[in-house]
Amino acid sequence: MPATQRIPTQIVENKVIVWDPADGSKLYSNGFYGKPLGIRKPKTTEFDRPSQLSFFEALHLLRKGTIEIFIEDPKAPLDERRLIAIAEEHHQDFSRKYQVYEDLRKRGFVVRPGLKFGADFAVYRQGPGIDHSLFIVEVIAKSDEVSAIEVVRAGRLATSVRKRFVLATSTEKGKIRYFVFSWIKP
Amino acid sequence: MEIKAPEDERPQLPDESIPAQFSRGRVTVKGEQAPLLYEAGYYGTLKNGNKLILEPEEVLLLVRRQRIQVSDSKGTNFEFADLLEQLGERHPGLWTRFLVYSDLRSRGYVVRTGYGKGLLFRVYPRGAKLNEATAKYFVCVISEGVPLKVTEIETFSKQAKRNRKKLMLAVLDRQGETTYYLVAPADIVAEK
């Protein structure tokens, strides 16, 4: 999308609102970004209400040049740094989690919130409503270490939600690493 | 769930403990009982068919099961606690390793010490004959409260993959109880 046609969005508390339903529908149908207000599971990619983006989605779309974001004055859009600063206030560990979000998006996955599965992200090959999520991803608390409790949680949760549970972390060089844990009874 | 091994064809060990010698920080079994003990559960390393050198974890397990009786050249007997102290000096982390080792052994696996730093054990299928079977798992230990470096997990899982083994993490809780998890690097590639 050319820079001139950036979709305007507005920060309201901890969400980024896409006011125009046509814009929201466009974002949803091109990669499943955002969620229409008050529709739990959108059946179609066309809807008639504003939609909300998470900060992860907003930063990614801002970087791609798809959207612009303002707070009060539509003529004063935010830059990346300002957006990250706001996101950090609202979402603990935002930047580290964002690295994983972006890595997964760049790999071509559809990345949606994973809270209802007890993780950071739910990852789809095609998208919600088309296929079930392939796996869920938790970004580990400390970037270079895995603790016993994280291993156990990952293994147990994978069993209970019947999905592959992936722990993601970034190495010192900033590369993202993914590990799958599964519980076994030897 | 694993299927139990068929009836064991391994030699039966005598009822009384086999004498073992403690010398220069190492425990060995000599004579005709050496190959017997080796084949009974693939403990230790057999040299020249009549000298069995035992690893510290193996010594502790065999003493606890009263399979061996350890004494030194002066005839002093070593009990479990003595051996733990003596061997533990040279082998830091012995108690932790012993807990995992004995847990896997008690589940019927043939367990051999691993190679390389951190990769503690190789686990063979139940009832395996060592010269015929290959190890199924590499095992490393993660203790509650002591995180593992991501780079370590990476190294171990690469090593396991190279050897066509699965990497098993033994998670040790604060009371020494173990649970096991398989860990593998996730090949995350979107194919549409």
Looking at the domain assignment, is residue B192 inside a domain? no
In this model, does residue B4 exceed pLDDT 80? no
In this structure, the answer to whether residues B98 and B179 fall within a common structural domain is yes
**How would residue A47 be classed by pLDDT, with cut points 50, 70 and 90?**
confident
- Measure Cα distances from B176 to A152, B56, B102 in Å: 15, 18, 11
In this model, does residue B192 exceed pLDDT 50? no
CATH of A1-90, one of 3.40.1170.20, 3.30.300.30, 3.10.20.30, 3.40.50.300: 3.40.1170.20
pLDDT at residue A65, as a whole number:
95
Structure tokens at A156: 């147990």
Contact call for A109 and B145, based on CB within 8 A: no
Distance of CA A95 to the CA centre of its chain: 12
pLDDT at residue B191, as a whole number:
54
Q: In this complex, which of A108, A146, A164 lies closest to B147 when CB atoms are compared?
A: A146
Domain ranges of chain A: 1-90, 92-186
- Is this prediction's pTM over 0.90? no
Q: In this complex, which of B104, B154, B181 lies closest to A181 when CB atoms are compared?
A: B181
Nearest CA in chain A to B191: A125
Q: How many helices (H) and strands (E) does chain A have?
A: 5, 11
What CATH number is associated with residue B67? 3.40.1170.20
Chain B CB contacts of A108 below 8 Å: 190, 192
Structure tokens at B148: 């593992």
Please tell me what DSSP assigns to residue A1: -
Q: What is the extent of the structural domain holding B166?
A: 94-183
User: What strands, in cross-sheet order, belong to the sheet with B68-71?
Assistant: B45-47, B51-54, B26-30, B18-23, B68-71, B77-78
pLDDT at residue B96, as a whole number:
92
Q: Does A180 touch chain B (CB under 8 A)?
A: yes
Contact call for B150 and A146, based on CB within 8 A: yes
Q: Which of B60, B90, B120 is the last residue of a domain?
A: B90
In this model, does residue A118 exceed pLDDT 90? no
* A153-156 CB contacts, 8 Å cutoff, 24+ apart: A154/A181, A154/B181, A155/A181, A155/A182, A155/A183, A155/B181, A156/A183
Looking at the domain assignment, is residue B110 inside a domain? yes
Nearest CA in chain B to A105: B190
Nearest CA in chain A to B170: A148
In this structure, the answer to whether residues B24 and B84 fall within a common structural domain is yes
* Radius of gyration (C-alpha) of chain A in whole angstroms: 17
pLDDT at residue B9, as a whole number:
60
pLDDT at residue A164, as a whole number:
84
Interatomic CA distance for residues B152 and A169, integer angstroms:
13
Distance of CA B49 to the CA centre of its chain: 21
Mean of pLDDT values over A132-161 = 85
Q: Which of B59, B90, B121 is the last residue of a domain?
A: B90
Interatomic CA distance for residues A50 and A21, integer angstroms:
5
Give bridge partners of residue A182 from the DSSP assignment. B182
Interatomic CA distance for residues A97 and A140, integer angstroms:
9
Q: How many helices (H) and strands (E) does chain B have?
A: 5, 12
In this structure, the answer to whether residues B100 and B137 fall within a common structural domain is yes
Number of structural domains chain B divides into: 2
Instruction: Check if A1-90 and A92-186 are the same fold.
Output: no
What CATH number is associated with residue B170? 3.40.1350.150
Chain B CB contacts of A143 below 8 Å: 150
In this structure, the answer to whether residues B74 and B25 fall within a common structural domain is yes
The model's pLDDT over A2-41, given as tens digits with 9 standing for 90+, comes to: 445 899 999 999 899 999 999 999 999 999 999 999 888 8
Chain B CB contacts of A145 below 8 Å: 147-150
DSSP assignment string, B81-142: HHHHHHHHHHSTTHHHHHHHHHHHHHTT-EEEE-SSSS--EEEEPTT--TTT----EEEEEE
Tell me which residues of A are annotated as active site.
Answer: 124, 132, 163
pLDDT at residue B116, as a whole number:
67
pLDDT at residue B16, as a whole number:
87
Chain A CB contacts of B153 below 8 Å: 146, 179
CATH of A92-186, one of 3.40.1350.10, 2.60.120.260, 3.40.630.150, 3.30.70.980: 3.40.1350.10
pLDDT at residue B139, as a whole number:
94
The model's pLDDT over A83-99, given as tens digits with 9 standing for 90+, comes to: 999 999 999 899 999 99
pLDDT at residue A172, as a whole number:
66
In this structure, the answer to whether residues B45 and B109 fall within a common structural domain is no
Interatomic CA distance for residues A120 and A169, integer angstroms:
12
Structure tokens at B39: 């084949």
Interatomic CA distance for residues A44 and A174, integer angstroms:
37
Instruction: Find residues 105-144 of chain A whose CB sits inside 8 Å of chain B.
Output: 107-109, 125-126, 135, 140, 142-144
Which of A20-34, B16-30, B147-161 has the least mean pLDDT? B147-161
pLDDT at residue A182, as a whole number:
86
**How would residue B120 be classed by pLDDT, with cut points 50, 70 and 90?**
confident
Percent of chain B with pLDDT over 70: 91
Looking at the domain assignment, is residue B8 inside a domain? no
Mean pLDDT over each residue of chain B, to the nearest integer? 88
Q: Does A76 touch chain B (CB under 8 A)?
A: no
Q: Which of B62, B90, B118 is the last residue of a domain?
A: B90
